[in-house]
Structure 1
Amino acid sequence: AWDNLAWFAVLVGMAGQLTNLGIVSWMSNCVAKLLQSFSLSWPVAFCVLEASYFLIHYLFASQTGHVGALYSAFLAMHIAAGVPSVLSALALAFNTNLFGAITHYSSGQAAVYFGAGYMELPDVFRLGFITALINTLIWGVVGTIWWKFLGLY
């Protein structure tokens, strides 16, 4: 447990340094300008940014590190692209929970299941991909209708 805590502290510290060094804001500004140059409507920009936020998690070893480094940057990109702010904030938060099952290192729970030997590595990635597709379908179809009903956009 202490080993995990030590590594977790390093990951959170590294995520904080990305922000402190201005890398996150620089990346955010570059992506926002790129999206604006394509003249995308906000729903298309929303889908592109949400998919990017989800897939970038393959490069992070923890949900907390990912959120600490990228949540505010992606929220700024959403708002710059014209996506309603409440929808942006909630969608990023929901998306953060969805990518917890895509790899053996994507969340604390995933590491426990893999480390205990319940699953082999190829199975983790295969099931993570299937879970991601199912979640995308549910959130993309049912979620879109529900959020419209709630008045989030």
Structure 2
Amino acid sequence: MLGAMAFTVSLWVFGEAIGIASVVSAMIGLSTLLLLGVVNWDDCLSDKSAWDSLTWFAVLIGMAGQLTNLGVVAWMSDCVAKLLQSLSLTWPASFIILQACYLLIHYLFASQTGHAGALYPPFLAMQIAAGVPGVLAALCLAFNNNLSGALAHYSGGPAALYYGAGYVDLRDMFRVGFVMALVQAIIWGGVGSFWWKFLGLY
């Protein structure tokens, strides 16, 4: 089993260099475990949480991709930029609003990578245009991208697994995720702002 795991992880890490996609690596790993008798097909079928996670991710990642392809993400970014320009806000106010928008827009994404890929550049550009120091804006968007992973049951890989285990119902997942996002934002924004000032980021 350890050999199969090491082989699968090696394929996952180095697969791109040798032309093997990560999905193929996962299938090779599963096939190896099945052939060696470590697991059987009934074990795979009975793992309902895994199938639940797979279903959620398949649908929601597809939806997030379509939102980007259809221009919804670009349209939303453009609307936010125009709104901020019309309000003539100071850079700290623009910074707070844009960071909050970046966090909450994650509800539309089933992947933190997809979220960052679609929204990081326009939100960084909007913040810099509003006068936010570049390093501060770049770092906070990166921090924010990680903090958004607990917003919902589809926000990131671990969230789907926690929800799929069946110990937390959907309403509680959304409620607790939102509360924790607020708590983390207050901690990062409150304590972090003093630390960032000490470091000279603004």
Higher-RCO chain (CA-CA 8 Å, sequence separation at least 6): 1
Map residues 69-148 of structure 1 onto 2, 5 A cutoff.
69-148=118-197
TM-score of the superposition, structure 1-length normalised?
Answer: 0.84
**2:44 matched to 1:44?**
no
Q: Which amino acid aligns with 1:73?
A: P
Match of 1:60 in 2: 109
Alpha carbons 2:67, 2:73 under 8 Å: kept: no
Deviation at 1:29, TM superposition (A): 4.3
- Summarize the Cα distance change of 1:141–1:111 in structure 2 as closer, same or farther, 3 Å threshold: same
Q: Which amino acid aligns with 2:69?
A: Q
Cα RMSD (Å) of the superposition?
2.5
Deviation at 1:17, TM superposition (A): 3.0
Q: Deviations over 1:8-53 (max 9, x none)?
A: 87467546635xx6x6555544432331221100000000000000
- Segment drifting more, 115-124 vs 90-99: 115-124
Alpha carbons 1:24, 1:70 under 8 Å: kept: yes
The unaligned stretches of length 5 or more in structure 1 are none
TM-score of the superposition, structure 2-length normalised?
Answer: 0.65
Q: Percent identity?
A: 62
Q: SS of 1:106's equivalent?
A: coil
Aligned pair count reads 150
Write the distance in 2 (CA, Å) between the matches of 1:15 and 1:126: 24
Deviation at 1:151, TM superposition (A): 0.5
Alpha carbons 2:61, 2:110 under 8 Å: kept: no
Q: Deviations over 1:78-127 (max 9, x none)?
A: 11111111111100000000010011111110000111212111221121
Write the distance in 1 (CA, Å) between the matches of 2:73 and 2:152: 24
Write the distance in 1 (CA, Å) between the matches of 2:67 and 2:75: 14
